[in-house]
């Protein structure tokens, strides 16, 4: 059952909280460590694993969604047990959990929107980008219906999430029907009236946070004419330096220049990227969004921008704020509410930023370093955390668990009637989603209803 182990010490039992990429990579590294046998229970609040790969990565990015195939190999390992549909901090307290494990690793990621404080942000058609992502990616915790009656739409934020939101709004429902989107999402997207999508960022091309692949991909749809105003292409010495220092940033600049210089493409939908436009107010009439006011900025010579005082009002009927994700605190675990992460020193949880470690608690992924970076980054990050955990174990720094045996936690869950899901359950849910997709010639069609997901995972007859 174990891979290479070199000590005769009893196995370490570790709880990893959050079955997104960070939690799965951390589990894998713990199991494969080669020093000591480690048995991992991977807790997940959703009935299905994979975190933002399932509920963040856009449905028209099947290659990225396909990363789950390689994560399957990890979850298939006998030293790893998935316990889904359990929210740590609510269904089980961290204190209770610690009785069953020698160490706990938090990899709880981020799922909500970071706040944007501009006037009008609370208007009904001012939407959080993360909420829209949760809707179109079929996350049962988010709204099932979406008002897509706006013809002109603004997206605030020049990062990849902004591009995802803008692209989904600019594509047609039928272009997306080949993906895994659930029926309710397809039905809403069919009613989408948006013909103009405007993406706004306060800085210039050399500071935009897009990645080249995602920026280039916008142009792959025959339905989208991507536009950049040539006046929005500007560089100062610091910007030139940024281009020289990063091949990826240089490519982003080249792609934006290409969009700015070419002849317009004939397409029913326009997606315009506006640079050097700082959103300052969402405009309202009779309680509804009627526009977005931006202030023109200019490079300050150091790669930053200053305001010019020149404002423009853009007629739009909906605004999507894609200004970043935000992690949430877990009851019983220190949280730094300034930077919205668990305070930590390279992965060891601290009682407060810069303070003492809490023995036996660790963090990895977005909850450790904030909501930045791609799936691949969570792997190296997990290595740093798990190396620390194993070093602490070797030095006797962990407080040993009270309960022995893998069944103890299962008995605890069953005594409390917690309807937990398992890895075998994921196979059942997965095959059901695939079967639904195959009926329509698609690889998968997602099931959105929470109870339905649980019923398939637990092999309980589904009543709908």
Q: Which residues of 266-277 are buried (b: 16+ CB within 10 A; e: fewer)?
A: ebebbbbbbbbb
For the segment 377-416, give every residue that binds ligand FAD (CB under 6 A).
Answer: 378
Q: Bridge partners of 269?
A: 224
**Least distance in Å: CB of 214 to ligand FAD?**
7
Residues in the chain: 464
**Least distance in Å: CB of 176 to ligand FAD?**
15
For the segment 82-101, give every residue that binds ligand FAD (CB under 6 A).
Answer: 87-89
Residue 198: CA count within 13 A, CB half-sphere: 23
Question: What does the alpha-carbon distance between residue 103 and residue 98 come to, in Å, rounded to a whole number?
Answer: 7
Q: Look-up: residue for tokens 């659930």?
A: 182
Helices (H) and strands (E) in the chain, counts: 17, 18
Structural tokens at position 141: 């915790």
**Least distance in Å: CB of 52 to ligand FAD?**
3
Site size toward ligand FAD (CB under 6 A) is 35
Select the span of 48-56, 186-194, 244-252, 386-394 touching ligand FAD (CB under 6 A).
48-56
Select the span of 4-12, 40-48, 278-286, 304-312 touching ligand FAD (CB under 6 A).
40-48
**Least distance in Å: CB of 168 to ligand FAD?**
10
Instruction: Report which of 214, 225, 125, 212 is spatially closest to residue 171, judged by C-alpha positions.
Output: 225
Spatial contact of 449 and 432, defined as CB atoms under 8 Å apart = no
For the segment 145-184, give every residue that binds ligand FAD (CB under 6 A).
Answer: 161, 164
**Least distance in Å: CB of 185 to ligand FAD?**
15
366 is a contact residue toward ligand FAD (CB under 6 A): yes
For residue 51, CA distances in Å to 5, 109, 365 come to: 30, 8, 11
Question: What does the alpha-carbon distance between residue 289 and residue 31 come to, in Å, rounded to a whole number?
Answer: 52
Which of 33, 85, 107, 344 is in the footprint of ligand FAD by CB under 6 A?
Answer: 107
Question: What does the alpha-carbon distance between residue 333 and residue 11 come to, in Å, rounded to a whole number?
Answer: 25
**Least distance in Å: CB of 147 to ligand FAD?**
20
Is 203 a known ligand-binding residue?
yes
Is 37 a known ligand-binding residue?
no
Binding site feature residues for FAD: 22, 44, 52, 88, 366, 373-375
Positions in the binding site for ligand FAD (CB under 6 A): 17-23, 43-46, 51-52, 56-57, 61, 64, 87-89, 107-110, 133, 161, 164, 325, 330, 365-366, 373-375, 378
């Amino acid at each position: 059952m174990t891979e290479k182990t070199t000590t005769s010490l009893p196995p370490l039992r570790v709880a990893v909280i959050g079955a997104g990429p960070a939690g799965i990579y951390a589990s894998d590294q713990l199991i494969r460590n080669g020093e000591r046998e480690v048995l991992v229970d991977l807790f997940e609040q959703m009935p299905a694993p994979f975190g933002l790969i399932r509920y963040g990565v856009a449905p028209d990015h099947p290659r990225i969604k396909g990363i789950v195939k390689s994560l399957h190999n990890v979850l298939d390992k006998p030293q790893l047990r998935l316990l889904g549909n359990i929210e740590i901090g609510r269904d089980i307290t961290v204190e209770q959990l610690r009785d069953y494990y020698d160490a706990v690793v938090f990899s709880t990621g981020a799922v909500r929107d970071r706040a944007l404080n501009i006037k009008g942000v609370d208007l009904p058609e001012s939407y959080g980008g993360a909420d829209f992502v949760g809707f179109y990616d079929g996350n049962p915790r988010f709204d099932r219906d979406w008002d897509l009656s706006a013809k002109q739409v603004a997206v605030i934020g020049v990062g990849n999430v902004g591009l995802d939101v803008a692209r989904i709004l600019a594509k047609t429902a039928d272009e997306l029907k080949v993906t895994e989107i659930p029926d309710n999402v397809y039905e809403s997207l069919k009613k989408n009236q948006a013909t103009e999508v405007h993406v706004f960022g306060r800085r210039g091309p050399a500071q935009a946070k897009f990645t080249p692949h995602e920026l280039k991909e916008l142009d792959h749809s025959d339905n989208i004419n991507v536009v950049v105003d040539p006046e929005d292409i500007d560089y100062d010495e610091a910007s030139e330096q940024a281009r020289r220092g990063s091949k990826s940033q240089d490519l982003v600049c080249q792609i934006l220049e290409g969009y700015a210089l070419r002849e317009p493409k004939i397409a029913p939908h326009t997606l315009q990227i506006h640079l050097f436009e700082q959103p300052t107010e969402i405009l309202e009439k009779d309680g509804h969004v009627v526009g977005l006011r931006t202030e023109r900025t200019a490079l300050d010579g150091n790669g930053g921008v200053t305001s010019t005082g020149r404002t423009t009002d853009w007629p739009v009927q909906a605004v999507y704020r894609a200004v970043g994700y935000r992690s949430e605190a877990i009851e019983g675990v220190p949280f730094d509410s300034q930077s919205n992460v668990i305070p930590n020193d390279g992965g060891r949880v601290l009682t407060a930023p810069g303070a003492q470690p809490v023995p036996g608690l660790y963090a990895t992924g977005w909850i450790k370093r904030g909501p930045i970076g791609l799936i691949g980054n969570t792997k190296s990050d997990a290595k740093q955390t798990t190396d620390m955990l194993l070093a602490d174990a070797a030095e006797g720094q962990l407080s040993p668990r009270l309960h022995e045996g893998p069944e103890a936690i299962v008995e605890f869950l069953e005594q409390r009637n917690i309807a937990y899901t398992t890895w075998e359950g994921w196979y059942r849910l997965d095959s059901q989603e695939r079967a639904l997709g195959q009926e329509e010639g698609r690889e998968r069609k997602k099931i959105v209803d929470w109870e339905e997901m649980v019923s398939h995972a637990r092999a309980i007859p589904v009543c709908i």
